[in-house]
Every structure is written in structure tokens, then in C-alpha cells.
Amino acid sequence: LRRSCSNQQRLLTRSFAEIVPVVSGLDSRPSPPPPLKGTIDPPPARAIAGPDGSQPASDAEPKVVASVRLGNRIPTQVDHGLYAFFRKTEPAAGQTLKGEAQYETLGGSIEMARTRSGRSWKASELRLKSFEDLHTLWYILLRERNLLATQEEEVRRLGAMKLVQTFNNQVRMCRKSMARIKYVMNERRLAYEGAVKLADEEKTAHITNLVLEKQLAEHQKEREQLFQRQKRARIRAARDAKRKAAQA
């Protein structure tokens, strides 16, 4: 860490990927790494410059804050996907952040992290969300956990263990929110399975009623046909008896 970092708003800062030259050889010893020439955080107010490196004409004009150039750097794209693992820095009034000055590795102080951190989502709030909102919120929380894991690893590397408890609380709230999302999704799954089962039962009952009605209609039809045949048989028998009586 640079001693000049103590004058800035953030508690701890560091640069992104750097190349540290090491002297190799059998009899030679590795030389200590050279001191850092800059940080990823915005430089002091005196070092604020425009995009072309010139000083602003007046304080009323917008100020552009760019990260300090380091000697040995690995060139990276401005829109590299790994920048998503770092939290964006909120620029001050009238400032525009450029490059790596837009991101921070450790965040602010413990009090700042506590005041800016919210609470976990409640199950009653998540029940009002759609499936698409829950899907989006799940990946937002997953990205937040990855971001906190990156910051926690940097804190562990620097030995600043006072911030670990703050990270643990934030990770705990993310995990609680994700667990409640799973709980709400399980509720909807059980409700869906219950609705499907109820629909199947109603469908089966409806089909059974249709079959019974058809069987009853067929039974009534066969019974009427049987009564008609019996009636015709009785009439035929009465005619035959009259004919035989007339012949006698």
C-alpha cells in the first residue's frame, strides 16, 4: 500500500494485475518487488486532469478522473468481463471516472459498508415477484457473492482482518435471500404439482362421469327395446289365442 492512500476516502486500495520482475539464477537472490507507482483509485484532487492530460480551465467544468499509469502492466480491455467482479466507484459531483478508476477492490470503510448495505429479501416480498424477476434476482445475488468473495480474498491477502466480519454479514444476507428464493420457488413447485394432480383428478372424474352417463343411456335404450319386444310378443300371443278359439 502507498502512504498517499491514507489521504483518500477508502480504507484500503490496491492496483489490478501487475508484473513483478524476479531475478532468476542459481547464485542470485530474488530482488524485492519495486514500489507501486499508482493505484486504481482516483488520485488526489491535485492530480485530476482531463482526458488529454491537461488541467481543467475552471472548477465549473466537469472533471475526469483517470487511474495512475503503472510501469509494468498487463494490457486489458476496458469492457473486460472480469471487471464485473469489482464494484463500481460512485463518482463525486462534477467528476467522470475513466478506466480502472471506475472500480474498487476493497470498498470503503467499515462504517460505509454498514450504512450502504441493505437487508436480505423477505419471503413475503419474493412471493410477489414473477418467475423472470426471481431468475434475475438470483443471478444478481450470485454476482454479489462473487464480488464479496473477491474483496474478502483481497482483505485476507492484505491482512486487514477487521473487514472480514463485514463481508461475512453481507454474504450471509445474500445467502439468506437466495435460500428464500429457493423456498418460494419450492412453494410454487408444490402448488403447481398440486394443481396438476387436482386437474388430473377432475379430468378422471369427468371422464368417469361421461362413461357412466353413456353406459346408463345404453342401458336405458336396451331396456326400452326389451320392453318393446315383450309387448309385441304378448300382442302376438293374444292374437294367436283368438285365432285358435275362432277356429275351434
Residue 56 C-alpha cell reads as: 481543467
Q: What is the mean pLDDT of residues 10-23?
A: 45
pLDDT band at 2; cut points 50, 70, 90: very low
Range name among 25-29, 193-197, 227-231 with the lowest pLDDT average: 25-29
CA neighbor of 128 nearest in space, from 195, 190, 184, 177: 184
The reported pLDDT for the residue numbered 109 is 54
pLDDT tens, position by position, 76-128: 777 777 777 777 777 777 777 776 677 776 665 555 556 567 788 999 999 99
Report the chain's mean pLDDT, rounded to a whole number: 74
Write down the H helix ranges in the chain: 110-116, 123-126, 131-158, 164-247
The reported pLDDT for the residue numbered 138 is 95
The reported pLDDT for the residue numbered 91 is 75
Residue 93 C-alpha cell reads as: 459531483
DSSP designation for 127: T
Question: Where are the domains positioned within the chain?
Answer: 1-106, 109-221
Give the Cα-Cα-Cα angle 80, 83, 85 (nearest 5 degrees).
Answer: 140
pLDDT band at 1; cut points 50, 70, 90: very low
Q: Which residue has the higher pLDDT, 226 or 47?
A: 226
Contacts of 150 (CB under 8 A, 6+ apart): 85, 86, 105
Using CA atoms, how far apart are residues 157 and 149, in angstroms rounded to an integer? 12
Residue 22 C-alpha cell reads as: 524476479
The reported pLDDT for the residue numbered 200 is 93
Backbone angles phi, psi at 152, to 5 degrees: -65, -40
pLDDT tens, position by position, 46-69: 444 444 555 555 555 555 555 555
pTM, two decimals, is: 0.54
Q: Mean pLDDT: which of 12-21, 174-183, 218-227 is highest?
A: 174-183
Share of the chain above pLDDT 90, in %: 29
Tell me: pLDDT of 223 over 60. Answer: yes
CA neighbor of 10 nearest in space, from 89, 63, 69: 89
Contact 178, 138 (CB under 8 A): yes
Place of cell 445475488: 141
**Roughly what angle, to the nearest 10 degrees, separates helices 164-247 and 131-158?**
160
pLDDT tens, position by position, 152-184: 887 788 777 666 667 788 889 999 999 999 999
